[in-house]
Amino acid sequence: MPYYMTRFRYAPEQFRALVDKPQDRAAEVRKAIEGFGGKLHQFFFAFGEWDGVLIVEFDSAEKGTAFLMTVASSGAVAALETTVLITPEAARRSMEMAGEMRSAYRPPSG
């Protein structure tokens, strides 16, 4: 299953809510991810440009996208950014495929 890293920034109201009533956000996020057949590997809060990072696994891009649309449409986050992660094994297989097809590709020339 493909892995994804999603970074998020909470909307200001959500930070107020978390300070007023601390809660286990990882448990809520895990429930939503599992509802789309995914698996939460890590949930981190962070300092800096992003307030947190998720490492998740979904068996399809559509399910991962549906999870992100659910979160984004809730109004809880001000921004999301997702990166597809590639395991070393998958990267090696891709390198092998690229090596096999290299002779079929012609780069632009002037």
Q: What are the pLDDT digits (tens) for 50-68?
A: 999 999 999 999 999 999 9
- CATH at 89: 3.30.70.920
The reported pTM is: 0.84
Q: Is position 109 within any domain?
A: no
What is the four-CA torsion angle of 64, 81, 52, 41, rounded to 10 degrees? 30
Q: What is the residue range of 13's domain?
A: 3-104
% of residues, the chain, pLDDT over 90 = 80
Q: Is residue 61 part of a domain?
A: yes
Radius of gyration of the chain (CA): 18
Is the pLDDT at 107 greater than 90, yes or no? Answer: no
Identify the DSSP state of 58. Answer: -
60 in a domain, yes or no? Answer: yes
Domain-embedded: residue 57 = yes
Reported as a single tens digit per residue, the pLDDT across 18-54 is 999 999 999 999 999 999 999 999 999 999 999 999 9
Angstrom distances, CA of residue 51 to CA of 6, 32, 79, 103? 11, 19, 10, 45
Burial 4-15 (b: 16+ CB within 10 A, else e): bebbbebeeebe
